């Protein structure tokens, strides 16, 4: 084993001068006092420029003074007592207290005090390295106040870094989502995704955020227990001093009740109260849209117009309650017979209209016949056999929907006039 000897390039005097310069130029305030007796009677024998700057006193004003010069009414007396006891126990002391500058202003100082001993172990002085932590304490106070304010708000707040990793969530977020902060910190918010949004939805979200813009929408999110809820959510990018996105802040409110009420009101406005089918106003709108789409794509579509046979007799003989029940039963059977995408409307009274997008005549006739047979096969325990008359029409050439509807209506009445419980195909356009 080779021992490498190194020469110290400084003499003892040079080292002392270097140490003096280091302390004089130190960023932290340094104070040296006499040891005093029984933890009291300390006198200042040195302070560096940083200490003078912190307190507002010159070194000449401080030399020979007690550090108590810097204390005042708001200085914690219990802390001073603890300081004295700690020094008497021959232990270093770390603490913070309110001190007073020369001009009377208050600052919060952090002390780190330790004993300086001679070769025999006798305490010769105490050195205190101090730092004004007022700004830091105020920042921490503001941060704590902000955290309390965020926890007090009823809106869910989430803060993430620029990689969308969660740094903070408030109590409202925990309540809204069912997840505790410990479960989500460090994760991305993907665990809230319900799978009901389209890829375009998220593409628009990511594009807006990448451009430094806020994104606002109603999200369908998944609660921890699995149920879906609606959140009116605003996500805002937060930029740093260089203009780069550093964080994202999301604020959301659970609007599930409002969305459900809106859906219910929309359903009530669009659906027939008795049968649950679309009402005529909405049915007409969808028929117009089907016609427009068929014309633009040069596709066929068909209509089936249905009437319950002898419905007036059912009302007269069994009463309107039974008549309503028959209407609901027929509506259910018709609606369960159509294809996905077909549009079933209560057209008025005991009439129903089915709009069949992209459906040729043969398929429309087969569907009408199947509906007729399904209803005719039901033997109602109260009113007996129920039958339907049906007219079927398919669009021709440049025929508009009103013309097709008229031809289909004529086919329906031909079915009724020729004995009912029949399917009649509308006459073609000449």
pLDDT of amino acid 332? 95
State the Cα angle at 120 between 116 and 125, rounded to 5°: 20
Residues 6+ apart with CB under 8 A from 179: 169, 173, 191, 224
pLDDT of amino acid 335? 95
Question: pLDDT of 111-130, one tens digit each?
Answer: 899 988 888 888 888 998 99
Measured CA to CA, the distance from residue 218 to residue 236 in angstroms comes to 15
Select the more confidently predicted residue: 422 or 37. 422
At residue 156, the 3 state secondary structure works out as strand
141-256 matches 271-425 in fold: no
Residue 399 banded pLDDT, cuts 50, 70, 90:
confident
Residue 10 banded pLDDT, cuts 50, 70, 90:
low
Task: Round the CA-based radius of gyration of the chain to a whole number and report it.
Answer: 43
* CATH code for the part of the protein at 271-425: 3.30.70.270
pLDDT of amino acid 38? 64
pLDDT of amino acid 15? 77
Percent of the chain with pLDDT over 90: 64
pLDDT of amino acid 160? 94
- Contact by Cβ (8 Å): 278, 270: yes
Which residue from 359, 362, 352 is spatially nearest to 301, judged by alpha carbons?
359
Question: pLDDT of 58-99, one tens digit each?
Answer: 999 999 999 989 998 888 888 888 988 888 888 898 988 889
pLDDT of amino acid 223? 96
Enumerate the β-bridge partners of residue 305: 353, 391
Question: Is 350 designated active site?
Answer: yes
Q: What is the pTM of this model?
A: 0.54
Query: For the chain, what are the domain ranges?
Result: 12-132, 141-256, 271-425
* CATH code for the part of the protein at 12-132: 3.30.450.20
pLDDT of amino acid 54? 93
Task: Give kind and range of the element (H or E) at residue 206.
Answer: helix 199-210
- Contact by Cβ (8 Å): 209, 237: yes
Question: pLDDT of 17-67, one tens digit each?
Answer: 888 888 888 888 999 999 877 656 789 999 999 999 999 999 999 999 999
Residue 138 banded pLDDT, cuts 50, 70, 90:
confident
Residue 1 banded pLDDT, cuts 50, 70, 90:
very low
Q: Which two tokens stand for residue 97?
A: 């207290």
pLDDT of amino acid 351? 96
Q: What is the chain's mean pLDDT, rounded? A: 89
Measured CA to CA, the distance from residue 108 to residue 101 in angstroms comes to 10
Question: pLDDT of 153-162, one tens digit each?
Answer: 889 999 999 9
pLDDT of amino acid 387? 95
Q: State phi, psi for 336 to the nearest 5 degrees.
A: -80, -10
Classify the phi-psi angles of 41: left when phi > 0, otherwise alpha if psi is within -120 to 50, otherwise beta: left
Say yes or no to pLDDT of 430 above 70: no
Catalytic residue of the set 350, 403, 410, 427: 350
The domain at 141-256 falls in which architecture?
2-Layer Sandwich (3.30)
């Amino acid at each position: 084993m080779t021992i490498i000897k190194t020469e110290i390039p400084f003499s003892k005097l040079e080292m002392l001068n270097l140490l003096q310069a280091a302390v004089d130029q130190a960023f932290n305030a340094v104070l040296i006092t006499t040891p005093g007796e029984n933890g009291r009677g300390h006198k200042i024998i040195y302070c560096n420029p940083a200490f003078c700057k912190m307190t507002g006193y010159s070194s000449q004003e401080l030399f020979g003074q007690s550090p108590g010069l810097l204390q005042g009414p708001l200085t914690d007396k219990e802390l001073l007592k603890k300081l004295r006891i700690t020094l008497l126990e021959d232990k270093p002391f770390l603490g913070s207290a309110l001190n007073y500058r020369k001009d009377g202003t208050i600052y919060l100082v952090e002390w780190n005090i330790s004993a300086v001993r001679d070769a025999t172990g006798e305490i010769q002085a105490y050195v205190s390295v101090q730092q004004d932590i007022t700004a830091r304490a105020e920042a921490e106070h503001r941060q704590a106040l902000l955290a309390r304010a965020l926890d007090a708000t009823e809106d869910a707040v989430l803060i993430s870094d620029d990689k969308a990793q969660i740094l903070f969530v408030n109590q409202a977020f925990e309540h809204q989502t069912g997840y505790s902060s410990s479960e989500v910190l460090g994760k991305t918010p993907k665990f809230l995704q319900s799978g009901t949004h389209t890829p375009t939805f998220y593409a628009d979200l990511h594009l807006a955020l990448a451009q430094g813009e806020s994104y606002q929408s109603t999200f369908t999110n998944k609660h921890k227990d699995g149920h879906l809820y609606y959140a009116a959510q605003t996500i805002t990018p937060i930029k740093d001093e260089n203009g780069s996105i550093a964080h994202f802040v999301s604020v959301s409110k659970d609007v599930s009740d409002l969305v459900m009420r809106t859906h219910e009101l929309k359903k009530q406005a669009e659906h027939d109260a008795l049968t649950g089918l679309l009402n005529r106003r909405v049915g007409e709108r969808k028929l117009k849209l089907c016609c427009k789409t068929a014309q633009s794509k040069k596709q066929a579509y068909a209509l089936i117009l249905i009437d319950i046979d002898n419905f007036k007799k059912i009302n007269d003989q069994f009463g309107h309650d039974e008549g309503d029940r028959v209407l609901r039963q027929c509506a259910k059977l018709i609606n369960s017979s159509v294809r996905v995408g077909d549009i079933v409307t209560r057209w008025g009274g005991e009439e129903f209209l089915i709009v069949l997008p992209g459906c040729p005549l043969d398929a429309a006739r087969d569907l009408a016949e199947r509906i007729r047979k399904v209803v005719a096969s039901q033997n109602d325990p109260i009113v007996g056999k129920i039958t339907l008359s049906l007219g079927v029409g398919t669009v021709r050439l440049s025929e508009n929907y009103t013309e097709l509807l008229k031809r289909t209506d004529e086919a329906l009445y031909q079915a009724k006039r020729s004995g009912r419980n029949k399917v009649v195909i509308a006459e073609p356009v000449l």
